[in-house]
């Protein structure tokens, strides 16, 4: 191998090593920030899109990559109702977007959706309580009474 080929080989190895190190640092940094693996997911459905014909900046569209940050308690999640009250928004609407595995199963595709309200099961009376809706005006929400 002549000196020119050695220099080219060395430059190639250095370039590949530098690219691999940068990729490792980015992925490692995302993992440290997110607190879970994988730190990113790809949006597979259009359920979070605001339009079927246009993509808007700040919305979640099919093919978008989302960094998934683990939370340690439910209190860290801002629902749509709470976000509307405090003017906190993510991805074009009030509240946080959450990712969950239906029934806790790892065998199904995780669901990405906006947290709307906290629903609490009422052990004594059966049914469910939604405390965050109690103080809202009926004009802000469609209220349906049981028939």
pLDDT digits (tens, 9 = 90+) for 1-46: 788 888 999 999 999 999 999 999 999 999 999 998 889 888 888 8
pLDDT above 70: percentage of residues in the chain: 92
Residue span of the structural domain in which 30 resides: 1-34
pLDDT above 90: percentage of residues in the chain: 33
Residue 47: what pLDDT? 80
Is position 118 within any domain?
A: yes
> 43 and 15: one domain?
no
Residue 4: what pLDDT? 80
> 48 and 10: one domain?
no
| Domains in the chain, number | 2
> 48 and 104: one domain?
yes
> 57 and 118: one domain?
yes
Per DSSP, the three-state class of 34 is helix
Is position 55 within any domain?
A: yes
> 29 and 2: one domain?
yes
Q: Is 135 exposed, middle or buried (0-12, 13-18, 19+ CB in 10 A)?
A: exposed
> 57 and 23: one domain?
no
Residue 119 structure tokens: 């629903």
Q: Is the pLDDT assigned to residue 76 strictly greater than 90? A: yes
Is position 146 within any domain?
A: no
| H or E element in which residue 144 lies | none
């Amino acid at each position: 191998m002549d000196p020119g080929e050695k220099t080219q080989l060395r430059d190639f190895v250095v370039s590949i090593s530098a690219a691999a190190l940068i990729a490792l640092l980015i992925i490692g940094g995302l993992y440290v920030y997110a607190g879970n693996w994988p730190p990113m997911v790809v949006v597979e459905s259009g359920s979070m899109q605001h339009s079927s014909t246009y993509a808007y900046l700040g919305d979640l569209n099919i093919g978008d990559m989302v960094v998934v940050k683990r939370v340690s308690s439910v209190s860290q999640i801002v629902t749509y109702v709470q976000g509307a009250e405090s003017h906190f928004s993510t991805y074009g609407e009030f509240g946080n977007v959450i990712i969950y595995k239906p029934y806790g199963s790892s065998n199904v595709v995780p669901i990405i959706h906006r947290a709307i309200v906290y629903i609490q099961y009422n052990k004594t009376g059966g049914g469910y309580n939604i405390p965050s809706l109690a103080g809202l005006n009926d004009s802000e929400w469609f209220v349906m009474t049981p028939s």
